[in-house]
Amino acid sequence: MSAFILRLVVGIVLALVIGPILVVIIAAFSSGESLSFPPPGFSLRWFIEFFSIAQMRNAFMLSIVLAIASACGAAAVGLLGAIYVSRNRNAFSVMLQMLIMAPLVFPALILGLALLLLYKTVNMSVLPGLFIAHVVVCLPYAFRSVLTSLQSFDTTLEEAGQSLGAGPVRSFLLITMPIIWPGVLSGWLFAFVVSFGELNTALFLTGPGIVTLPIEIFSYLQFQGNQLVVAAASALQVLIILIVLFLAERLVGARQIVQR
Amino acid sequence: MNTQAPSMINADVRFTRVEKKFDTATALHSLDLEIERGSLFALLGPSGCGKTTTLRLIAGFEQPTSGHVYIRGNDVTGVPAYKRSFGMVFQSFALFPHLTVAENVAFGLKMRNVSKADIVTKVAAALDLVELGKLGERYPRQLSGGQQQRVALARAVVFEPDVLLLDEPLSALDKMLREQMQVEIRHLQQRLKMTTVFVTHDQEEALTMSDRVAVMKDGRIQQAGTPREIYDRPRTEFVATFLGASNILEAIVKGKDGTGTILDIAGNTLSVAGVTAEAGAKLCFALRPEKISIGSMDGNQPGGIAASVREAIYRGAQTLLYLDINGMPVNAVVQNAGVEPMNLEPGAAVRLHWDNDNMVALEPAR
Amino acid sequence: MNPSLSRNSLAWAVALPPLIILALFFVVPLGYLLFISFMTNSATSLFDVQPTLANYTEIFSDSFYWLIIQRTLLSTAVVLILCLLLGYPAAFYAAHLSPRGRLIMLMIMMVPLMVSNVVRAYGWFAILGRRGVLSGTLTGTGIIERPVQYLYSFEAVTLGLLTILLPFMVVSLTNSLATIDKHYTEAAHSLGAGPWRTFLRVTLPLSSPGIASGLMLVTFLALSAYVSIALLGGPRYKLLVSMVFDSVSTFRWPRAAALSFVLLLIAFIIAIVIQLVVRPQRVQGKA
């Protein structure tokens, strides 16, 4: 009896979590003119439509470029922060860790508003402002991933490197980096995905001609644009995430097996 | 600053008044240490005694709070590890998992900008030295524990460092392999004539392998000397009991006679040479259980000290005896030579004999 | 402890970039936002440099804002309770799967987590809208006669928030439950506690850190999930975060700033209540 209830609840949770995404993906392949269920048939017309709308296409490209750039930024900065935090046990390192992790829970919309006001005051242009906001928001994910791999890294390996004559920088590059590489890569991929779907800070920080895909989808929905194009855009988002996860599994997973 | 204790001419490693503090805890108290060129020197002690800190100070992974460290006569205090000349075998071996065996061994040579051709010959020679000539292309994880140990050794000696440091190098191996590697490391060290410092908590390992042993406790060297000196002439109760079993006999000085000092040990009077103490003073002596021989009360050996058996434990080659001399507990080990089994039942009365020269007067505990 | 990078200037060189970026683009803007919340609204510039408490007093003296705050508290409470009631059994189930099964379950939770909130909100749009799945199914089976739209309501917003937040809750709880040593439950069984008592007296208290961290994460995210609230609540069902956005749209920056800090204050109060009720420090030891 209780086992049945348990399975029922698991089913409800899965339905709540996956259901809406499945519906979007099915709708995206509809051949109908507008949203209706069940769809009259299946086609790729809304994907073609998506790429024929310049705004959508530009937003998609911007999101990809921005995600790559901010993932690189977040991974680099997160790596530096994780190096410090993993090797220093003091009040400053605790403070730094809390600071880097803060954007993870901090309401992103409020951060977006605060950044907007700062940018307006110092006349920051849109694109760099958006990039920095994405780096800050993605930083906790990249940092956490790198920190985990650094914490499981055996630092006597670096001591061994030094005993053989490699200075701190050389032993980090020649020994530590090749070993923690999967952690850095998965941090990068995590940051990429987060940036690609980022919405709440970008809400205030996009500008004319510089709009990310999630914001474009949002404004289309709000202004009742053709909704099946939106479904196609959403399906593309899911597709990109699945590709990234697949890559992560192949690259990081395979590499980590090699490490053992 | 550095004009202490007359130094050995050939000291490869020298500490003068080295002190090391971590936050508030003192790991080493004003340590003086000299390690002769070409010798194998063991730092022996329980965990937390400062032996690993001493090794890490030689390496440069730690820097002294005060005092100086010399390698080959050069003051290296403050010099970082990677600018010193030492090879090190780590407790976990610390082989680079992403590099092959040959690349691991070549690492130190590369850091020293040795030419490619030389690297190839030297790596091959080093791998031959540890009998792993054919495994150069393997990765560390594909090797057994013993093989990994050899790679670590080859990696540490290939660039001919001034000093070889071994941090509990055998603790990751099982007992059989450990005993084999003890001998191999000793032979390798003698062949290369490389000054070697070696940290262990295993007293047997220290006695088997080293030229000299320093027994450490609470950040101080209790005693340093050859294995035989340390074992036969322990200076403190700690050294006597940490290296093998030892009886600690408490004695009261009664006076002097022509040959030595007269002592009272649990109601028995003995005369010991080479001890100077006032009458009435209390002294402690170490006496190894195997130096005591047992005679029966009615036996043909006269004299000796009367004792009673509390318990006898049969150990195959020997029998371990828990004895009682007027209330003072004493242990003895007798070889089971196979002649007339004596009555060693609990309560049996026996006579104990030992050469008083085997009684080693101990310094009062510090 | 590695001496190589810890004790010299290299350590600082490593710590500085993240420190500077977060100082300039996280701490400073939030400080600036707080500053602005005490300034006067201006028609021509961002704000007038005239210190005032009006932005806050106006919020707390306006019955409309009180209504919004009450509604925000109620919807957050409902979301928290549902997240716990649904998420805990799911996590319990996942934690007792084989490591491989657990990995698959966590992956199923992680993928939607990465999909943008707007996509998931749109999913509910497509389900609850006038020509959506629900309405279509109900008319198709004849239960209702005309298409009905279920959007722009408390229920729609709650469903939308659950979709976003359940994965966080399940992941947090699963990790917490999976690390509980099974010897604890075995010990409880050996002492004569049945499955239910073992669960209530042993497993539940031991998972309290996971409950607390999951609930706190959910609180912060629920309060600031503007896009889901805007799409599914529409103009009819607004929460506090919608007010922040509306103030921005009307360029009342100091008001928007003050509303942001009221929102943060509410989040912290709820977080404290969670700590007091769940008491994770029972298991974690005094922090």
> Could you tell me if residue C131 is inside a domain?
yes
Q: How many domains does chain C have?
A: 1
- Say yes or no: B62 contacts chain C, CB-CB below 8 A: yes
Chains that touch B (3 or more CB pairs under 8 A): A, C
- Is C35 part of any domain? no
Say if C85 falls within a structural domain. Answer: yes
Query: What is the percent of chain C where pLDDT is above 70?
Result: 96
pLDDT band at B138 (very low <50, low <70, confident <90, very high): very high
Minimal CA–CA distance to C87: which of B213, A13, B153?
Answer: A13
pLDDT tens digit string along A189-221? Answer: 889 989 998 988 998 998 888 999 999 988 888
Reported as a pLDDT band with limits 50, 70 and 90, residue B336 is confident
Residue type, A202: A
pTM: 0.83
- The pLDDT of residue A256 is above 60: no
Cα C23 to Cα A79, A145, A204, distances in angstroms: 17, 22, 20
The mean pLDDT value for A82-88 works out to 92
pLDDT tier, A253 (very low <50, low <70, confident <90, very high otherwise)? low
pLDDT score for C262: 94
Half-sphere exposure of residue B92: CA atoms within 13 angstroms, side-chain side: 13
**What pLDDT, on the 0 to 100 scale, is given for residue C3?**
44
Let me know if residue C39 belongs to a domain: no
β-pairing verdict for B282-287 and B318-325: unpaired
Chain B CB contacts of A161 under 8 Å are: 82, 96, 107
Task: Enumerate the CATH 3.40.50.300 domain ranges in chain B, comma separated.
Answer: 11-241
Question: What pLDDT band is residue C265 in, cutting at 50, 70 and 90?
Answer: very high
* pLDDT value at A56 more than 70: yes
Instruction: Check residues B15 and A37 and name the one with the higher pLDDT.
Output: B15
Mean pLDDT over C16-22 rounds to 94
Q: Which pLDDT score, from 0 to 100, does residue A225 have?
A: 62
**Which of B86, B91, B95 is closest, CB to CB, to A163?**
B86
Which CATH number is B11-241's, of 3.90.700.10, 3.40.50.300, 3.40.50.620, 3.40.309.10?
Answer: 3.40.50.300
pLDDT for C1: 38
Q: Which amino acid is at C76?
A: T
pLDDT for residue B209 is more than 80 = yes
Whether residue A161 lies within 8 A of chain B, CB to CB, comes out as: yes
Please name every residue paired with B321 in a beta bridge, in sequence order, or none if there are none.
B312, B332
Q: Are B291 and B278 in contact (CB under 8 A)?
A: no
Picking from B57, B333, B78, B41, the residue whose alpha carbon sits closest to that of residue B186 is B41
Q: What is the percentage of chain A residues whose pLDDT exceeds 70? A: 95
Domain boundaries, given as residue ranges, for chain A: 1-43, 55-259
**C202 vs C220: CA distance, rounded Å:** 28
Does the beta carbon of A155 lie under 8 angstroms from any beta carbon of chain B?
no
Q: Options 2.40.160.100, 3.40.980.10, 1.10.8.640, 1.10.3720.10; which CATH number does A55-259 get?
A: 1.10.3720.10
Give per-residue pLDDT as tens, A17-32: 998 999 888 888 988 8
Q: Considering only A90-94, B30-34, B300-304, which range has the smallest mean pLDDT?
A: B300-304
Strand order in the sheet with B66-71: B25-36, B11-22, B66-71, B74-75
Q: What is the pLDDT of residues C42-81, one digit of tens each?
A: 888 888 888 889 889 988 899 999 999 999 999 999 999 9
Say how far apart CA A113 and CA A107 lie, in whole Å: 10
pLDDT at B15: 92
From CA B168, how far away is CA A221, in angstroms rounded?
A: 67
In a domain, C216, yes or no: yes
| Residues of B engaging A, defined by a Cβ cutoff of 8 Å | 59-61, 80-83, 86-88, 90-92, 94-98, 107-108, 111-112, 141, 155-156, 159, 165
ipTM of the complex: 0.88
pLDDT of residue B339: 67
What pLDDT, in 10s, does the model give residues C163-191?
A: 899 998 998 888 888 878 777 888 887 88
The answer to whether the CB of A239 falls within 8 A of the CB of C114 is: no
Q: To the nearest whole percent, how much of chain B has pLDDT over 70?
A: 95
Chain C hits for B62, CB-CB cut-off 8 Å, are 3
Work out the minimum CA distance from B188 to partner chain C, whole angstroms: 30
Report the pLDDT averaged over residues B265-291: 86
Cα separation values, B270 from A51, B328, B329, B333, Å: 107, 15, 17, 21
Residue A259, pLDDT score: 31
Percentage of residues in chain B having pLDDT higher than 90: 51
C4 vs B contacts (CB less than 8 Å): 80-81
Does A69 have pLDDT greater than 80?
yes
Going from the C-alpha of B311 to that of each of B299, B320, B323, B331, B345, the distances in angstroms are 21, 8, 7, 10, 7
B6 upstream amide cis, omega within 30 of 0 = no
Which residue range forms the structural domain that includes residue C205? 54-284
Tokens of C194: 């049945």
Bridge partners (DSSP) of residue B225 are: B213
Give yes or no for residue C287 having a pLDDT over 50: no
Q: How many CB atoms lie within 10 A of CB B137?
A: 10
Please report the pLDDT score of residue B334 as a whole number. 86
List CB contacts (< 8 A) between B23 and chain C: none
Mutation target to probe the C interface, by most C beta carbons within 10 A, among B58, B61, B82, B90 is B61
Q: What is the pLDDT of residue C284?
A: 66
| C-beta atoms surrounding A31 within 10 Å | 13
Query: Across chain A, what does the average pLDDT equal?
Result: 88
User: How high is the pLDDT of residue C237?
Assistant: 86
The answer to whether the CB atoms of B90 and A259 lie below 8 A apart is no
C122/chain B closest Cα distance in angstroms = 46
> How high is the pLDDT of residue C207?
87
C114-159: pLDDT as tens digits: 888 888 888 888 888 777 778 777 777 777 777 777 788 888 899 9
CB B107 within 8 A of CB A161: yes
pLDDT in tens, B216-230: 999 999 999 999 999
Query: B24-27: long-range contacts at Cβ-Cβ below 8 A with a sequence spacing of 24 or more?
Result: B26/B219, B27/B53, B27/B219
Instruction: Please check whether residue C34 lies inside any domain of the structure.
Output: no
Task: State both tokens at B227.
Answer: 């294995």
* CA–CA min distance C247, chain A (Å): 11
Contact A162 B96 (CB under 8 A): no
CATH of the domain at C216: 1.10.3720.10
B78 interfacial to chain C (CB closer than 8 Å): no
Higher pLDDT, B301 or A99: A99
Best A157, A164, A171 residue to mutate vs chain B (most B CBs within 10 Å): A164
In a domain, C28, yes or no: no
**Pure H helices in chain C:** 3-6, 9-22, 28-37, 54-61, 63-95, 99-114, 117-128, 133-140, 154-178, 182-190, 195-198, 204-206, 208-224, 226-233, 240-249, 253-278, 281-284
